[in-house]
Amino acid sequence: MTPHRKWFTTYRTLTPPTPVTLGDDSTMQATGIGTVTLHAKVAGKIHEFILSNVLFILDFRITLISVKRLASAGLSTFFPGNTSHCIVYQGKQQVMT
């Protein structure tokens, strides 16, 4: 989920908008869905990730990536204690922070 419309490489308007329930039980409306390509530079190497079925929520203030979807793509995640970071690995190689 992201509020950044310009990030989408493909985009389809959702008519009607789709309600999305957040962790605090509030609801926001997803008005679009599509594909977002991310580029992460780790240790001088650029990794490309293509995320599909990304929801566009204009009023959202942050971007969220599903840990479950990362795992289904063969990636693993690590959340170091006392930080707000997530480190993503492909095998033993760090590919995103």
* Residue whose tokens read 């929520």: 57
pLDDT in the model for residue 31 = 98
User: Given this model, what pLDDT does residue 43 score?
Assistant: 82
Give the residue-averaged pLDDT of 6-33.
96
Task: Please tell me the pTM assigned to this model.
Answer: 0.82
Tokens of residue 91, six digits: 């095998």
Q: Residue 28 pLDDT > 90, yes or no? A: yes
Cα–Cα distance, 21 to 23 (Å, whole number): 7
pLDDT on residue 45? 86
Q: What is the pLDDT of residues 32-83, one digit of tens each?
A: 999 999 888 888 888 888 889 999 999 999 888 888 888 888 889 999 988 8
